[in-house]
Amino acid sequence: MNIPQPALTPKARAEAISQTGLLAATALNCALQIAWFRRFRAHSINEDGIAYVVLARHLVDGDFKASLQGYWSPLTSWMIASASAFGRDFTLLGRFVTIASFLVCLPLLYALTLRLWRSRTSAALAMFWFSAARGLVFLAVGSIVADFVLTACVLLYFILLLDALRQNKPAPWIGLGAAHALAFLAKAIAMPWLSIASAIAVLLRDGRSSRRLAASFRLAFLFLAIVGISWGGTLRTKYGVFTTGYQLRANLMSNWHADQSPSHWRQPVVRRHFVAL
């Protein structure tokens, strides 16, 4: 027996039409802009792109130590290396990873806006404005960068942050820490500023109970501590000093040799392998 569905109110019907129109406009806008910019930027590559491609090649070739870099965080090169199962054109794979990460940001932005405003029309509008920014699509098509991978991780982080604040259960706090760790692997600068956000969130939610405060802190920073220590120890095998990347300025207070300084981490990879591309 079919239960009749209640008819939509005029306001709900108008909101559904607006949402559908905005989602369709977002999809059309992304398709047109990607196709348009690809005509002019299909053969361009930036310095970061060269580095990520080279590091991914080292990883696929089994030279793990050569794939370690203190300047470029590893997640993007790992994603390019993982995509090598579908082909050996690493430059093309790098472009695919960048464009795909840009597109993944759209539903994550929708989910975050929906949680904040509880309006599907507002969420669809946020997606549309994100896709309408010509500079973002231009960057996604014409470069190989970690910016959109970082953006996707940060959007996921704040989605889980809202869940953790509202539910205050272990699972959202653990997921929050996992998203934080992923953002750190995308770009190391995510470690300090998202740590501040996590600490403030825990204090606001559980500041009145020292036991719950300690438990939430442990859950929120568990994955970040594991990943940060593991990555710092891995970089130590190459550079001889424990560091999570060049953004960890405290390590600059050490008396390093000149060839161990972060200012020397960036250029050799690009110079050495530019011809190989």
Q: Could you list the pLDDT tens digit for every one of the 277 residues in the chain?
A: 466 556 678 778 888 899 999 999 999 999 999 999 888 877 788 899 999 999 999 999 999 999 998 888 999 999 999 999 999 899 999 999 999 999 999 999 999 999 999 999 999 999 999 999 878 888 899 899 999 999 999 999 999 999 999 998 999 999 999 999 999 999 988 998 899 999 999 999 988 888 999 999 999 999 999 999 999 999 988 888 877 776 555 444 344 444 444 444 454 444 444 434 4
Q: Is 192 helix (H, G, I), strand (E, B) or coil?
A: helix
Q: How far apart are the C-alpha atoms of 245 and 183, rounded to whole Å?
A: 13
pLDDT at 3: 61
Q: How far apart are the C-alpha atoms of 78 and 172, rounded to whole Å?
A: 26
Q: How far apart are the C-alpha atoms of 254 and 83, rounded to whole Å?
A: 38
Residue 114 lies in a domain: yes
Residue 200 lies in a domain: yes
Decide: residue 190, CB within 10 A, 0-12 exposed, 13-18 middle, 19+ buried. Answer: buried
Q: How far apart are the C-alpha atoms of 214 and 261, rounded to whole Å?
A: 36
Q: How far apart are the C-alpha atoms of 190 and 170, rounded to whole Å?
A: 22
pTM for this predicted structure: 0.86
> Which residues form the domain of 164?
13-273
Q: How far apart are the C-alpha atoms of 128 and 131, rounded to whole Å?
A: 5
Q: Are 248 and 53 in contact (CB under 8 A)?
A: no
Q: How far apart are the C-alpha atoms of 185 and 149, rounded to whole Å?
A: 10
* DSSP code, position 86: G
Residue 8 lies in a domain: no
pLDDT at 255: 43
**Domain count of the chain?**
1
With residue 229 as reference, give the H or E element that holds it: helix 210-239
pLDDT at 9: 83
Residue 6 lies in a domain: no
With residue 9 as reference, give the H or E element that holds it: none
pLDDT at 246: 63
Cα→Cα distances 231→31, 165, 196, 224, Å: 37, 29, 20, 10
pLDDT at 11: 78
Residue 247 lies in a domain: yes
Residue 144 lies in a domain: yes
Q: How far apart are the C-alpha atoms of 146 and 137, rounded to whole Å?
A: 14
Token pair for residue 153? 């991780």
DSSP 130-185: HHH-HHHHHHHHH---SHHHHHHHHHHHHHHHHHHHHH--HHHHHHHHHHHHHHHH
pLDDT at 2: 60
pLDDT at 277: 44
